[in-house]
């Protein structure tokens, strides 16, 4: 049977489009269960950024959790093979507490991961797929890219606790607070200026990268910048960089993230719908060899986009009575469905239902009672 | 065409002062000064739409994208930790978040400290940094009453002049954090309306700098004492 895309919700449509996109580039589906040992999240609670996890004991008394994250499970089961990159995609529900309402939510997430000897091409491929994922959701989108290597290099001589506070300020584009925290902790004026420039320079990749070359970076920071520049130039040579912005306010925990970072936005959704990056440090913390990068697309907010509302709940309402000829009725219904309409057969019109057309049988003839077109 | 910018203004005196700043910066909307009960005001030509919301709700409107930008006190931002950009310190509505107790109160670290506050998140974070075990009591108003009737040992609350504290025989023991009004922006809106939001930020920043120049000598005279203006 053919599936009519117009009748799908944005979430369903996007999910299928993303699957097909990732399959085209050779990613294989990674199917997971809903449960995972609680201990995994306890050990990496900063990675998932939430302590509110639904936990329960299974029949052996082991403490289990409903998955609040999918990447950790993929990394846990990963085995390193030199020279190879494992490319997988997933599409599952995760369970997290929403920050404001203090309730658990089930969130649909689709994403991909590259694990192993990840090289420049893989980084480019993941970035390109992130762009194309956003394009499949909405024609007006922005992919913001950043690189933790640059931030880490500027903060190389700063203690971890202060680093965290400064990274937080960078993430808020909060220049006034950044200066205050930096001054309080005796960070050199040159570094403060560099950080301020990092926060206030964003947008077009060529301009931003040129500007960033002026920063007082060491070898490590320059390498990070080169990598960023290589990836974006490659995108640009295929005319895919017009919706790419470089913005160093995209930051994440330095203990897990080491390289390129992404955040994707589409018009009409108030928060990032795509998020990811390179997380080699998580790999080594979990005792795995090799690098890793990936991203996830959050599908739960997409149904709020404009244009995702349908005008009618159903095309045709078919009113019948018990005296009607059921055979003639089904014949007519089948005919209309084959012609592409949706048909609801009822004895009464359901309350608040929006329909295009109301019909009934008169003998064996179908007659139109009402038309709303 | 210019994109409309939605601005969530906090109801009350601070909001009016903030609107004055927007007006000076060239984003006027004269209808807002009329005395009526409307909640939304717009100036299509300038591409700006204002709405009045409860001060504690500004971060919610901005975080969820109903407003592109908004003005919120640092106290609200620290309490609710919204996922937004904090673009500018407006340097107005200045006061501080402080710990206060009955005059002559002596803290006994062997006991769990009972803390009453409208800001449980700020209070917990503060005492977590101090490594102090606390029992937090969330109240919605008249916080000063709590230590007087033995509900709590100390309170964590906003202090402007300290007059209410004084009248109730309370005193500030420690400052938690200085507070002032901040310009915040929705993270997605900022990406799609970058130019417009930057223009507003820069216009307001210019005004803030001018005001600071005016205030500076006075601050020296009063020994840097925080000025009132909130509530």
For residues A353-373, give the mean pLDDT: 88
**Whether B83 contacts B205, CB under 8 Å:** no
**Record: contact B187-A174, CB cut-off 8 A:** no
Structure tokens that stand for B201 in this block: 């930020």
Predicted local confidence at residue B110, as pLDDT: 84
Give the whole-angstrom CA distance, residue B10 versus residue A362.
63
Predicted local confidence at residue A308, as pLDDT: 58
Give the count of Cβ contacts less than 8 A between chain A and B. 47
Predicted local confidence at residue B8, as pLDDT: 96
For chain B positions 152-191, those within 8 Å of chain A (CB to CB) are 186-191
**Record: contact B188-A271, CB cut-off 8 A:** yes
Q: Higher-confidence residue: B213 or B181?
A: B181
CB within 8 A of A354, min separation 6: which ones? A311, A312, A313, A314, A372
Predicted local confidence at residue B221, as pLDDT: 41
Judged against a pLDDT cut of 60, whether residue A115 lies above it is answered with yes
Q: What is the DSSP string of B155-211?
A: EEEEESSSHHHHHTTEEEEEEEEEE-EEEEEEHHHHHHSHHHHHHHHHHHHHHHHHH
Q: Which residue of B has its CA nearest to A246?
A: B191
Mean pLDDT of chain B: 88
- CA B119-A169-A120 angle, 5° bins: 135
Q: Pairing state of beta strands B40-43 and A355-362?
A: unpaired
- What does each C-alpha distance from B18 to A146, B23, B52 come to in angstroms? 34, 9, 12
* Contacting residues of A for B186, CB less than 8 Å apart: 270
Predicted confidence band of residue B1 (pLDDT cuts 50, 70, 90): low
For residues B21-39, give the mean pLDDT: 86
**Record: contact B188-A270, CB cut-off 8 A:** yes
Judged against a pLDDT cut of 50, whether residue B230 lies above it is answered with no
Judged against a pLDDT cut of 80, whether residue A306 lies above it is answered with no
* Contacting residues of A for B86, CB less than 8 Å apart: 172-174, 177
- pLDDT by residue (tens digit) across A70-79? 999 999 999 9
**Record: contact A270-B64, CB cut-off 8 A:** yes
Judged against a pLDDT cut of 90, whether residue A154 lies above it is answered with yes
For residues B116-141, give the mean pLDDT: 93
Sheet containing B181-186: give its strands across: B40-43, B48-53, B5-10, B69-73, B181-186, B84-89
- pLDDT by residue (tens digit) across A258-290? 899 999 999 989 989 999 999 999 999 899 999
Predicted local confidence at residue B225, as pLDDT: 39
Choose among B229, B230, B206, B193: nearest CA to B62. Answer: B193
Give the whole-angstrom CA distance, residue A271 versus residue B63.
8
Judged against a pLDDT cut of 90, whether residue A236 lies above it is answered with yes
Predicted confidence band of residue B216 (pLDDT cuts 50, 70, 90): low
Judged against a pLDDT cut of 80, whether residue A100 lies above it is answered with no
Percent of chain A residues past pLDDT 70, beyond the cut: 98
Whole-angstrom Cα Rg for chain A: 26
Instruction: Write phi, then psi, for A64 (nearest 5 degrees).
Output: -115, 165
Judged against a pLDDT cut of 90, whether residue A42 lies above it is answered with no
CB within 8 A of A329, min separation 6: which ones? A318, A320, A345, A361
Instruction: Write phi, then psi, for A198 (nearest 5 degrees).
Output: -60, -40
* Contacting residues of B for A176, CB less than 8 Å apart: 88-89
Quick check: B84 contacting A, CB < 8 Å?
yes
Q: From the CB of residue B145, how many other CB atoms can be counted at a distance below 10 Å?
A: 14
Give how far B63 is from chain A: nearest CA, Å.
7
A30 assigned binding-site residue: no
Predicted confidence band of residue B2 (pLDDT cuts 50, 70, 90): low
Nearest to B192 among A100, A173, A267 (CB): A267
Judged against a pLDDT cut of 60, whether residue B219 lies above it is answered with no
Of A38-42, A346-350, B183-187, give the range with the top mean pLDDT: B183-187
Give the whole-angstrom CA distance, residue B189 versus residue B196.
10
Q: Which residue of A has its CA nearest to B187?
A: A271
For residues B93-100, give the mean pLDDT: 94
Q: Pairing state of beta strands A365-371 and A355-362?
A: antiparallel
> What is the torsion angle, in degrees rounded to the nearest 10, for the CA atoms of residue A194, residue A196, residue A197 and residue A198?
90
**Whether A263 contacts A150, CB under 8 Å:** no
Predicted confidence band of residue A309 (pLDDT cuts 50, 70, 90): low
Judged against a pLDDT cut of 80, whether residue B42 lies above it is answered with yes
**Record: contact A140-B80, CB cut-off 8 A:** no
Predicted confidence band of residue B215 (pLDDT cuts 50, 70, 90): low
Give the whole-angstrom CA distance, residue B31 versus residue B52.
13
Predicted local confidence at residue B231, as pLDDT: 37
Predicted confidence band of residue B226 (pLDDT cuts 50, 70, 90): very low
Mean pLDDT of chain A: 90
Q: Higher-confidence residue: A184 or B219?
A: A184
**Record: contact B194-A99, CB cut-off 8 A:** no
Nearest to A265 among B64, B81, B188 (CB): B188
Give the whole-angstrom CA distance, residue A132 versus residue A55.
36
Q: Which of B128, B175, B188 to mutate to test the interface with A (most CBs of A within 10 A)?
A: B188
* Contacting residues of B for A249, CB less than 8 Å apart: 85
- pLDDT by residue (tens digit) across B145-172? 999 999 999 999 999 988 989 999 999 9
For chain B positions 104-143, those within 8 Å of chain A (CB to CB) are none
Predicted local confidence at residue B228, as pLDDT: 40
- pLDDT by residue (tens digit) across A4-14? 777 788 888 89
Q: Which of A238-247, B114-123, B209-218 has the lowest mean pLDDT?
A: B209-218
CB within 8 A of A352, min separation 6: which ones? none
């Amino acid at each position: 049977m053919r599936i009519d895309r117009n009748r799908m919700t944005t979430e369903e449509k996007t999910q299928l489009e993303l699957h097909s996109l990732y399959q085209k580039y050779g990613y294989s589906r990674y199917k997971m269960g809903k449960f995972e040992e609680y201990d995994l999240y306890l050990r990496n609670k900063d990675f998932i950024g939430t302590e509110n996890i639904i936990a329960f004991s299974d029949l052996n008394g082991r403490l289990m959790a409903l998955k609040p994250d999918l990447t950790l499970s993929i990394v846990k089961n990963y085995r390193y093979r030199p020279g190879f990159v494992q490319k997988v995609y997933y599409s599952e529900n995760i369970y997290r507490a929403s920050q404001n309402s203090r309730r658990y939510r089930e969130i649909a997430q689709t994403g991909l991961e590259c694990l192993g000897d990840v090289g420049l091409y893989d980084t480019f491929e993941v970035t390109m797929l992130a762009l194309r994922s956003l394009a499949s959701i909405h024609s007006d989108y922005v992919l913001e890219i950043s690189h933790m290597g640059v931030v880490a290099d500027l903060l190389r001589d700063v203690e971890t606790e202060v680093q965290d506070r400064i990274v937080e300020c960078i993430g808020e584009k909060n220049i006034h607070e950044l200066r205050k925290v930096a001054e309080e902790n005796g960070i050199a004026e040159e570094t403060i200026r560099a950080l301020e420039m990092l926060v206030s320079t964003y947008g077009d990749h060529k301009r931003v990268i040129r500007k960033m070359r002026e920063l007082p970076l060491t070898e490590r920071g320059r390498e990070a910048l080169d990598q960023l520049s290589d990836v974006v130039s490659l995108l640009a040579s295929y005319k895919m960089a017009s919706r790419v912005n470089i913005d160093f306010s995209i930051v994440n925990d330095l203990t897990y993230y080491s390289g390129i970072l992404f955040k994707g936005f589409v018009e009409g959704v108030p928060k990032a719908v795509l998020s990811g990056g390179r997380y080699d440090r998580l790999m080594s913390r979990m005792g795995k060899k090799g690098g890793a990068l990936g991203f996830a697309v959050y599908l739960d907010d997409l149904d709020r986009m404009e244009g995702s509302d349908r005008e009618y709940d159903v095309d045709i309402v078919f009113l019948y009575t018990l005296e009607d000829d059921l055979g003639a009725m089904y014949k007519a219904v089948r005919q209309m469905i084959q012609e592409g309409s949706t048909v609801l057969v009822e004895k009464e019109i359901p309350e608040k239902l929006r329909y295009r057309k109301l019909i009934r049988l008169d003998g064996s003839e179908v007659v139109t009672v009402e038309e709303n077109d | 065409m210019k994109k409309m910018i939605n601005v969530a203004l906090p109801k009350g005196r601070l909001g009016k002062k903030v609107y004055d700043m927007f007006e000076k910066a060239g984003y006027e909307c004269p209808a807002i000064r009329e005395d009526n009960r409307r909640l939304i005001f717009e100036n299509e030509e300038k591409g700006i739409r204002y709405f009045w919301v409860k001060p504690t709700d500004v971060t919610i409107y901005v975080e969820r994208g109903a407003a592109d930008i908004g003005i919120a006190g640092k106290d609200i931002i620290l309490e609710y930790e919204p996922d937004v950009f904090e673009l500018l310190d407006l340097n107005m509505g200045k006061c501080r978040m402080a710990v206060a107790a009955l005059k002559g109160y002596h803290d006994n670290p062997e006991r769990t400290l009972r803390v009453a506050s409208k800001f449980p998140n700020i209070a917990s974070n503060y005492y977590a940094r101090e490594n102090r075990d606390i029992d937090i009591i969330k109240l919605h108003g008249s916080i000063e009453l709590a230590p007087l009737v033995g509900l709590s040992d100390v309170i964590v609350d906003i202090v402007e002049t300290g007059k209410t504290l004084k009248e109730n025989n309370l005193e500030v023991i420690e400052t938690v954090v200085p507070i002032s009004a901040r310009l915040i922006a929705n993270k997605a809106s900022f990406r799609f309306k970058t130019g417009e939001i930057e223009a507003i930020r820069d216009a307001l920043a210019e005004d803030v700098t001018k005001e600071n120049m005016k205030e500076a000598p006075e601050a020296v005279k009063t020994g840097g004492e925080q000025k009132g203006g909130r509530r």
